[in-house]
Chain A
Amino acid sequence: VSVSIKPAPTHSSASGGGSADLGREPNKVKPRSFRASDASALFGSMLAAAALVWLLFGVLLPVDNTAMASLAWMATFLLTYRFALKHTEGVLVARDRVMAVVVGALAAIVLAALTSIVIFVTVRGIKYLSTTFFTQTMEFTGPVDPSTEGGIAHALVGTLQQILLATLISVPLGVLTAVYLNEVGGRFSRSVRMFVNAMSGVPSIVAGLFIFATMNVGLGWSFSGFQAALALSILMLPTVTRTSEEILRLVPGGLREASLALGSTEWRSTWQVVLPTAKTGIVTAVILGVARVIGETAPLFMTAGGSPVMNANPFEGAQESLPLYIFRQVKQFSNEQTIPRGFAAALVLLVLVLVLFVTARAIARPKVERTGRKWRRRPRRSRTRGHRAGTSLASGTARGRRGAHRKPRLRRPSQRGAQRSTANPTSTEEEAL
């Protein structure tokens, strides 16, 4: 089959509204991206490559290394595959198929890395999880005591208090900043947005160093959980701000206008209309912020300090935290007795992060669908006005209309809306989350 006759193998899954339109035409030939002969080329090349690698690594020069062997197999496979396709389908198709395999393989490697992290920590950690591990502290357990002794109770308490305090500091500030960026606006909103972006790039150790420089060196305080909370809130703030801003942006302008038209002040319409509408989204923002900082270790060296005993007062005295605990057991003491304990604590931390992450998704999803339907209901009643506004929550029409009488602060959202209007509305929402 020559290349020019063969339909482009890719069209069916190429994105965009255009191909969907084409799909509706009656005499459209549906191009298939994968045929029987392709399968034979693919699996044949895989087999050939496997045979060659086995011959090389297993028989001719025995090397006992799976990683190297699989790399070699991948390279051989790609070469064989390309060679086979070039002869049957031509060079263009060969290139296309080989690149598809390369892209898929790289994506699979990333996925494999993630899975291997989860599996590795689970396998190494699960053996030493026990109830006493959650109820004991390290007060009576030294570095050489057996792994079955000691626990993370003090670390859990410390982490909980520090995260709670950091949330109390950064969430009001972050949500207010988001409100400023999206609802109030003004001359400085561009620079504030810039600051938020810059802050999200601040290395975590610098945040810790800053708190140490101000609190310990400057004010003469000693380590405490509160200082850790301050350092963590610096790291949490940009996440909370940016996620809540994305959420506020999805609140339809019509709601704001209706509230303002009924005579409420800007403050009331923000507090009673905009924020309640975005409530679950803001909860998501908080959870993502917590997930961002719960595993932070570096700033805690300089702020919480770490301690083997229970300290339930975050405002006084050095306090332990889960990441510090793991770090100390695995890296600092680093012997056969402490490392398993560290891995068990790492498993607890990983599970916490996973739970937070899944919760954030679970909270975000139904809300988006529900509101999506609610807003979409309107166009059915009056097709002319609400139609576009209903199709895309963040879309240009609603924003644009709002922009007509309140230009300066709305320039940005309307731009975004216009750019995004091609995208599927639900996917736009979920990207924002």
Chain B
Amino acid sequence: MGDLIFRGVARTAGFTVGFVLFLIGLFLLIRAIPALQSEGFSFLTTFEWTSETFGIGAILYWTVVIALVALVVAVPMAIAVALFIVEYAPPRLRKLFTSLIDLLAAVPSLIFGIWGFYYLQPKIIPLSRWLSERFSFIPIFASERGLFSSSAFIAGVVVSLMVLPITTAVIREVFSRVPPGEKEAALALGATRWGMIRTVVLPFGRGGIIGGAMLGLGRALGETIAVYIIISPIFTISPRILDLGANSIAAHIALRFGEAAADPQQLSGLMAAGLVLFLVTLGVNAVASVVVGRSRSAKGVEL
């Protein structure tokens, strides 16, 4: 009898998690309906946000751009850090380094934001200027006005530091599962350490690298406050990531929330934007776990 209650209570707790997730989707949907009805499909394609017409076309675009910049920076770094921890670092340093990466995950996103804005931005702007001067023939590096602050690039670099810990954790876990026999076989055949990594560790860890990157993408898409602090919001799209101005769904919700609280229609629009963000991150995370689950290396790795 007692056991039945115990099992029941534990099971209820487990289901509560799923129930809350379901409620999040449901309530956002209910609150989003007025906006979705008035805007229709153009909610996804409209490039402006006023209290009359609004849509997330441009915002969604910049959200993805910032997340992609973050991944382009974070994934090579995460692979390097994971390799360093698993293959290069001496055992004592290994633990310390793992802890430090975990500590990086514990630093609040707000602090990343103010650090990025006040410390990193002045350091990155010369790099942006140099890139845009030398490589302006590549569309993403071109610059229209020569203003390089508050750009998608800077936001992406800061977000990359924030997704680094989780991406590194997955990749490290996978790298540490490479069968020692295969590594030793490579070394016995005369491979150097890098040769061994290139032919054994990296191919074995491919699933984990992709899964970790996807997981990082999910985090990067939902990043709010750091992006909010850094970017200056725009509602047009352009490939120029170095130029002033960008946007993101999460930052947009935070930015407009104050004025929307008194305007039911706009609030409903923000709920719809939140719903889109929720569904996109759920989708990305689901794909990540499928990718990781399917690969030989990453079976059983917790995401």
Contact = CB atoms under 8 A, between A and B. Distances in A.
Q: Verify that A and B bind, or say they do not.
A: yes
A406 B194 CA distance: 45
Contacts of A246: 302
Contact of A201 (B119, B282, B300): B282
A117 to B, nearest CB: 5
A184 B254 contact: no
B115 A237 contact: no
A195 B177 CA distance: 26
A266 B9 contact: no
Nearest to A107: B84
A115 to B, nearest CB: 9
Contacts of B11: 180, 184, 186, 188
A18 B181 contact: yes
B18 A203 contact: no
A206 interface: yes
Contacts of A204: 109, 222, 224
Interface in A256-306: 265-268, 270, 291-292, 294-298, 301-302
A16 interface: yes
A355 B115 CA distance: 20
Given A205-B250, A209-B270, A176 B282 contact: no
A96 to B, nearest CB: 4
A415 B286 CA distance: 22
Nearest to A323: B110
Interface stretch (B21-29, B39-47, B138-146): B21-29
B15 interface: yes
Interface string B186-230: 010011111111000000000000000001001101111100110
B278 interface: yes
A218 B90 contact: no
Contacts of B267: 217
Interface in A396-433: 412, 415-416, 419, 422-423, 427, 430-431
Interface stretch (A38-46, A143-151, A343-351, A381-389): A343-351
Interface residues of A, number: 115
Nearest to A16: B180
A17 B180 contact: yes
Contacts of A349: 108, 110-111
Given A14-B196, A114-B100, A176-B13, A206 B127 contact: no
- The A interface is mostly helix, strand or loop, or mixed, namely helix
B192 A10 contact: yes
Given A213-B31, A350-B111, A68 B80 contact: no
Contacts of B289: 194, 197
B192 A109 contact: no
Given A110-B101, A203-B221, A217-B267, A198 B13 contact: no
A213 B130 contact: no
B24 A8 contact: no
A301 B83 CA distance: 40
Contacts of B87: 13-15
Interface string B91-108: 000010111111110111
Contacts of B100: 111, 114
A56 interface: no
A14 B183 contact: yes
A298 B2 contact: no
Given A14-B193, A107-B81, A203 B303 contact: no
Contact of B224 (A297, A412, A427, A430): A297
B115 A117 contact: yes
A353 B196 contact: no
A172 B16 CA distance: 12
Contacts of A236: none
A106 B300 CA distance: 28
Contacts of B80: 102-103, 106-107
A384 to B, nearest CB: 27
B274 interface: yes
B239 interface: no
Given A203-B250, A210-B28, A419-B300, A180 B88 contact: no
Nearest to B19: A195
B17 A199 contact: yes
Contacts of A14: 87, 183-184, 187, 193, 196
A116 interface: yes
A346 B110 contact: yes
B154 interface: no
B115 to A, nearest CB: 5
Interface in B286-300: 286, 289, 299-300
A67 B127 contact: yes
Contacts of A65: 126
Given A16-B181, A109-B77, 4 more contacts: A14-B183, A68-B126, A210-B24, A357-B106
24 contacts: A3-B190, A8-B187, A67-B123, A68-B130, A71-B127, A106-B77, A106-B81, A109-B77, A120-B115, A121-B115, A179-B10, A184-B7, A195-B21, A201-B281, A201-B282, A202-B281, A206-B28, A210-B27, A246-B302, A296-B108, A301-B257, A323-B108, A331-B229, A423-B176
